[in-house]
């Protein structure tokens, strides 16, 4: 889903939208972690989820410091982000990875726009660039795993590969 997030002309609104996007991502990661069969994926995605939690805390502090109350949870977009993951969970880890890549495409695009948005003061730009670096790392990992493909399943009664 393409997003216009990151293009807001009001800094406080931009930060609120980014925080909500991260809350959406947290819920999608929670779902993915529960659905993955791979322990490696569950562990890696738990660390990615923690990055999104950190983003909500860092950006929330900026809002609070300016006298604003940050969002405390996701917005309605969560239905789409989490729904893609839950639906993909019906067909296995690879489908969940694809759904999560789609979600990471959105967060990458939003943070790319936000980091270069003229309403963002220089002091905050570094924070947004660090968040963007996390998002790029998440997406790169998912893309790498998708390129490798899934390992073959062992044959029933035969040796496992």
84 within a domain of the structure (yes/no): yes
Q: How far apart are the first and last CA of the chain?
A: 38
Confidence of residue 86 (pLDDT cuts 50, 70, 90): low
Q: What is this structure's pTM? A: 0.81
In a domain, 136, yes or no: yes
- The pLDDT, as a whole number, for residue 92 is 79
CA separation for the pair 121, 32 (Å, rounded): 35
CATH number for the domain that contains residue 119: 1.20.1260.10
State the alpha helices, DSSP H only, in 10-92: 11-35, 39-65, 78-88
73 within domain boundaries: yes
- The gap from C-alpha 141 to its chain's centroid, in whole angstroms, comes to 12
How many angstroms separate the CA atoms of 103 and 161, rounded? 32
Chain segment 112-140, per-residue pLDDT in tens: 999 999 999 999 999 999 999 999 999 99
User: Residue 78 CA to chain centroid, in angstroms?
Assistant: 11
**Domain extent at residue 108:** 11-147
* Cβ atoms of residues 104 and 56 within 8 Å: no
Across the chain, mean pLDDT equals 85
**Number of domains, the chain:** 1
Spatial distance between the Cα atoms of 85 and 92, rounded to a whole number of angstroms: 10
For 59, 64, 77, 160, the CA distances from 106, given in Å and listed in that order, are 18, 25, 11, 38
């Amino acid at each position: 889903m393409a997003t216009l997030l990151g293009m807001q002309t009001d800094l406080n609104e931009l930060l609120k939208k980014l925080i909500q996007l991260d809350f959406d991502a947290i819920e999608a990661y929670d779902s993915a972690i529960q659905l993955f069969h791979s322990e490696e994926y569950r562990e890696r995605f738990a660390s990615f989820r923690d990055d999104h939690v950190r983003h909500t805390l860092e950006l929330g502090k900026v809002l609070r410091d300016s006298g604003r109350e940050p969002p405390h949870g996701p917005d309605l977009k969560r239905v789409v982000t989490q729904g893609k993951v839950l639906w993909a969970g019906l067909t296995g880890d690879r489908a969940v990875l694809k759904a999560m890549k789609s979600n990471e495409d959105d967060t990458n695009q939003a943070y790319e726009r936000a980091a270069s948005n003229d309403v963002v003061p220089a002091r905050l730009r570094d924070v947004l660039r660090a968040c963007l670096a996390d998002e790029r790392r998440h997406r790169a990992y998912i893309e790498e795993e998708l390129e490798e493909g899934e390992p073959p399943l062992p044959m029933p009664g035969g040796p496992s590969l």
